[in-house]
Chains A and B, each alone.
Chain A
Amino acid sequence: MEKVFAELQEAIENGETQAAMDKTKDALKLGLRTDKIIQTAINPAFKDLGQKMFDGEIYVTDVLMASRAAHAAMYVMEPIISRFSGATKGIVAIGTVAGDLHDIGKNLVIMMLQGSGYTVIDLGIDVPVETFIDAVRTHKPDVLALSSLLTTTLPELDNLMEALVQQGLRSQVKVIVGGAPVTAEYAGRIKADAYANDLFEATEAVGDLVKNRIGKYAV
C-alpha cells in the first residue's frame, strides 16, 4: 500500500503524467479511498516540490509538469469523487484583478488547488470588482482568491474588499490575496483573511480558510 503511494508521489514530482494515471488506478484497485490518495501521495508531492522550489532546486517548468501529472491523477479519480457529493474539499473562485493581464501565477495556483482536490472557478484576467461580487453570489465559493501582479492594480484589492462589505457579502466568503507586489502587511491593511507568497502557500492557506482555521498565512 505504501509502495503505491510512494510511486504515485514520485510520478507526480517527476511530472510523469502516464505513470501518475497508472499509479492512481493501481491505488484504486487496491481499494484505497480517494481522500487518502490525495492526502498521502498528492499533497506530500506538492509539499516536497514547494520546498525544492523555495530552495531554488526546481523551476516553474517542473512545477507545471508536476501539476499536469497531478491533474491526470485527479482525472482518474474524478468519477469516484463526483459520486460522493461534497467530496470536493471546497470551492475557490479566483481571478486576476481589473487592469492586470498576468495569468501565469494565477494559473499555477489553480492547477495546484485542483490537483489538491478543490473545485476552482476561474474568473480569468482583468476581472472587474462586479464580476467577483457576482461570482460570490452565484457560486457561493468558500474562498475568493485574487491575484495582482502590478502595483497599479493593487487598489483593486481594496475596492473589492470594500464592495464585499457594502454588498453585505463579507461574512459569506474568505478572501486570500497574492501576487508579486502584494505583501502580508498589505493584505492585513485591506482586511483580507490570508496572504500567500506562492502556489504552495496558497494551497495550504486555502486549506485553513475552508476549515475556518487561523493558519500560518492568516493576516
Chain B
Amino acid sequence: MNQRENFFAMLEGRKPEFIPNIMEVYKICIFGADRADQPLVGGLDAFGVNWVVTKEGEMPEPNRFMFEDIADWKEYVHFPDVDALGIEEAAKIELADVNRDEVIVNVYSPTGLFERLAAFMGFENALCSLVEDPESCQEFFEAFADYKIACMNRFIDAFQPDVITYFDDLATANGLFMSPAVYRSVIKPSHKRIIEAVTSRGVIFNQHTCGKCEKIIEDYVEMGAKMWSSAQVSNDLDGILEKYQGRLIVEGGWDSSGPASYNDATVEDIIAETVRCAKQYGPKGNFIFLPTLLNENGNAIFVGDPRLAPMIEAWHTVDKL
C-alpha cells in the first residue's frame, strides 16, 4: 500500500500496513489560511487583526484588542469578502507538484471559533465573555461560522482536499479552558455546522485541539470529526485510541513540552521518544505520528534539523504494529 491507500485503510477501520507520520503522509496546504485566517509572515489579517511573529510561530498582537465587550462585536467585526481572498490562486501555487495518487491533501484552516474571538478581544476577555454574555458569544460564533463555512467551501472547490484540519485550541495542559457544559451550549452548535459543511462535501474533518481536551472528544466524534490532531500526552491517549478504534484517527503522541522537545535534546532522547510513540500507540492501528521538534530556529519540520533524519529512520525501523 502507498501512503494514500494505507491512510484510507486506517480511516475505514481496516488494519493498516504501516503507521504513518505526518511528514510523509500529507501534502499540507497553508496558503489558503494565509489569506483567509492568519498571515504566514505576520501583519494584518483580513479582519484587521495584527499578527506578531517570532521564529517559533505567531499569534495576535497581545493587549491590542479590537473590542473588550462582546456585546460590541458587530460594531467592529467586518467579514472579508471571500471572493476577494485569492484562495484559488493560493491553491494553484500550492498544488503545483502534488501527486494525488500517492499522498493525502490536507488543507489547514487555523483560528477556529474560539481562537478568532480571542484574536479580537484577547484570551481572558474571550473566556470571561463565554460565561458573562453567552448570548452575544453565540451570535458572534454563528456569524463567524458562516464565514468559516464560506471559506471551507472555497477551500474544497479550489484544493479538492482529502482532509481539512480545523484548529481551535480549547484546552490547557491540565484541562479545558471552559467547562464542557459551556463548550456545548455556547461553541458547539456553530462548531457542528462547520463540521457538517465539510463532511457533507465528502471531505474528512480533522479537529486540532492542543492540551487536555479529552472530555469533549466524544462531542467531536459525534459531530463527524474522523481525526483528532495534536493529541497530547496529557490526555489518556491509550484509552482514546482503544475506545475510538475504527471511528477516530489520533494524530500526535509526542510529549511536546517534555525533554525530547528541549533544544538540547540529544538524538538518543529523540529516538527514545519516537520509539515510545511507535510501541505505545502504533499497535492500536488508528494512530499517526506527529512529532513536535523545535529548535533555536523554530519548528524543525520547516527550518530543518540534523536530528530529523535519525528520527524518521528510527520511526521506519521500529516495529509499530
Chain A positions near chain B (C-beta within 8 angstroms): 15, 53, 56, 58-62, 64-65, 68, 99-105, 107, 124-126, 150-155, 180-181, 198
| Alpha-carbon gap, A99 to B132, bound state (A) | 33
User: Which residues on A sit within 8 Å (CB–CB) of B178?
Assistant: 59-61
Known A-B contacts A61-B177, A61-B182; A155 and B263 likewise in contact (beta carbons under 8 Å) = yes
A198 and B174 alpha carbons, distance in the complex (Å): 10
Asked if residues B131 and A65 are in contact (CB atoms below 8 Å), the reply is: yes
Asked if B294 and A150 make an inter-chain contact with CB atoms under 8 angstroms apart, the answer reads yes
Q: A15-B131, A65-B128, A99-B56 are in contact. Are A181 and B261 (CB under 8 A)?
A: yes
> 11 A-B pairs, CB-CB below 8 angstroms?
A59-B179, A60-B178, A61-B131, A64-B124, A99-B55, A150-B294, A152-B294, A152-B295, A152-B296, A153-B56, A180-B257
| Partner among B132, B177, B262 whose Cβ is within 8 Å of the Cβ of A181 | B262
A99 touches B54 (CB 8 A): yes
Q: Which residue of A lies closest to B180 (CB)?
A: A59
**How many CB-defined contacts (below 8 Å) exist between A and B?**
83
Known A151-B262, A180-B173, A181-B257; contact A60-B62, beta-carbon cutoff 8 A: no
Beta-carbon nearest neighbor of B296 in chain A: A152
Expressed in whole angstroms, the minimum distance between the Cβ of A71 and any Cβ of chain B is 12
Q: Write the chain A residue with the least CB distance to B177.
A: A60
Min Cβ gap B124→A in Å is 6
Q: Which residues of A contact B298 (CB under 8 A)?
A: 152
Docked Cα-Cα span, A126 to B59, in Å, equals 12
Q: Which residues of B contact A124 (CB under 8 A)?
A: 62-63
**A-B complex: 3 closest residue pairs judged by Cβ atoms:** A181-B257, A151-B261, A180-B257
Q: Tell whether, in the assembled complex, residue B261 and residue A107 are in contact, meaning their CB atoms are under 8 Å apart.
A: no
Contact A61:B179 (CB < 8 A) given known A151-B263, A152-B295, A181-B257: yes
Query: What CA separation (Å) do A58 and B174 show in the bound complex?
Result: 11
Q: Which of A64, A101, A107, A151 contacts B54 (CB 8 A)?
A: A101
Beyond contacts A59-B177, A60-B176, A99-B56: 11 other A-B pairs, Cβ-Cβ < 8 A, are A15-B131, A53-B174, A53-B175, A61-B178, A64-B127, A65-B132, A150-B56, A151-B263, A152-B295, A180-B257, A181-B262
